Amino acid sequence: MTAPLVFDVTLSLKAPFLFPGQDPGRFGYDRVALRDLDGRPIIPQDQIKGLIRHGLTIMGETELVEGLMGKGSADARKDSGGAFEPAKGRMFLTDLRCTIEPDLRSTDYHRVQIDDESGAAKQGHLLRIEQVFAPEREVAFSGRITLFPTAKAPDAQALALLLAAALQCKRHIGAMASIGFGEVSGCSVEPALEAEEACKLPADPVGRFLWRFRVDRPYLVDAIRTDNGYIGQPTIPGGALKGLVARCAEMRGNPLDAQSLSDTVFGHATQHVAQALPLSVVCLKEKGAETCRDLAGKGALPDGVTLQIDWKAVHEAACVAGFKHCLAPPPRHVERVHTQIDATTGAAQDENLFSTTAVVPGNDVFTALVDTSALSAENARAVLSALCAPMPGLGRTDARVEPIDFVTDKAPSPVTGTVALVLQTKAWIEVDPALLRHDPLAAYAPAFKAFLPNSTLLEVHAAQELLGDYLARRFTGQSGYMPWLVTSRGSVFVLDVAPSDQAELAALQRKGLCSATRDGTALDWQSCPFVAENGYGAFLLSSVGGSR
């Protein structure tokens, strides 16, 4: 088993320097310094990674660059043979954080463009730039690099020297380096002294557990694309966790058995346990005021109801009173802008600018279901052992997952009779889209007959989402990629559960409610992103009219 190498990094700069942030500064500033959540100026991890890549490359260490930072996949539009097959990196960085408090009395920096004809300042071309330290002051920034060396990599001391040299290959870094900003005055890279901490493995590794962990920085997973930006979601999908576990175990030299990992159920991880608001909840006017009602099991919808898709602020306010258990606090976000620098000009490359909006984890603990009931004791112990060690590399920000412990979780209680099944996560349930338009009950009935052969589907209150349609349009005729019509979180299915289906229902409660096929072809994690073992199709059951 290979332990990661951890290095403490200190990079010193002479003021003035600027690493631009997105937060609004004090009145009148056109450019402000990038800061962390505590208000300290930082050098972003992407900048440090780019410096290391550039420095090692010009030193001729191209093999080391590829080993540490990986290699991008080929463009699917030009070379389908290498498309979607990137070689992942083995190096993970933090931001470098300023080690001293900013000097609030420092002077600002001004730039102005001079009009060639008049010799005067050109109107609208004056910039006021925030400077957090006085000119010529030397300022240290510190952070960490964690890497999993390959068999061909140099030893720790040699790697430290190479990284320090790479970070000093450019004399000036950051914004406006061409006019002397960001002069590098020194760098040290030293092996970290503290030992890696791991949480305790359960005595019996076969079972159903709540895995608790923390995340060390803002994280970006399950992002929604908006123009040239990506907005992260607060829930960490089970598939993202499973991929992180597999990758870290492989980098440690102890790869997990693929089938065992596939058979392990990883639920989605959240910090705030809030149930999905059932789509059977509607608003209707009673005595002149909006009131929320759950109509699951009540038959046809009454006239004058407002469905959730049409809700306005007044309807959401009415929902708060009766469904507080479905409300989670809004996530806090932090935005950064990324660009690729042209090595020949030092300027930003055209069409290579985008923004990311990551979720701030705060101090709350994440909880995810991990179910190893389908594994042997040996394989279950191997999977849970991989969850005990810290794991860097979560999402776009390379966030570090820091395990805390495992809590044994009891199996869900059986429910019989007429029940409401409410999806807590999205689910792949195979339906006929054409039939779905005019008869949702008939569209979902075959899938539920496969799930529970002797039970009857009575009502459907569901919504659907088309996922992967962008890729399907982009690569039409090349990869055969097909989008997925998944059933949304909060969808409600009212069922009359037959006593003879109790075993099947218990299996669904343990694993999740997802169809096992698509057009007659069996699915697994390699062919479908939305398998139940990765946290999709999780649901809660209640007797109609009862509590969930």
Q: Which of 207-211, 256-260, 270-274, 346-350 has the lowest mean pLDDT?
A: 346-350
pLDDT of residue 479: 55
Sign of CA dihedral 536, 208, 413, 273: negative
- How does 480-494 read in b/e, with b if 16+ C-beta sit within 10 Å? eeeebbbbebbbbbb
Dist CA 339 CA 348 (whole Å): 6
Q: What is the mean pLDDT of residues 280-292?
A: 83
pLDDT of residue 547: 44
Sign of CA dihedral 520, 525, 526, 529: positive
Pair 4, 159: CB distance under 8 Å: no
Residue 224 has pLDDT above 70, yes or no: yes
Work out the percent of the chain whose per-residue pLDDT is above 70: 91
Mean of per-residue pLDDT scores for the chain: 87
Q: 208-274+331-408: what CATH class?
A: alpha beta
Tell me the three state secondary structure of residue 433.
helix
Q: Which of 20-34, 55-69, 229-243, 431-445 has the lowest mean pLDDT?
A: 20-34
Q: Output 328 or 401, whichever has higher pLDDT.
A: 401
pLDDT of residue 184: 96
Residue by residue, DSSP assigns 234-274 as SSB-HHHHHHHHHHHHHHTT-PPPHHHHHHSEEPPBBSS--
pLDDT of residue 28: 73
Dist CA 232 CA 338 (whole Å): 15
Total-model pTM = 0.89
- Strand (E) or helix (H) holding 395: none
Sequence ranges of the domains in the chain: 5-191, 208-274+331-408, 283-292+300-325, 417-543
- Strand (E) or helix (H) holding 364: none
Residue 81 has pLDDT above 80, yes or no: no
pLDDT of residue 108: 80
Question: For the segment 312-338, what is each residue's pLDDT rounded down to a tens digit?
Answer: 888 888 887 778 888 888 889 998 888
Question: For the segment 119-153, what is each residue's pLDDT rounded down to a tens digit?
Answer: 887 877 788 888 889 889 999 999 999 999 988 88
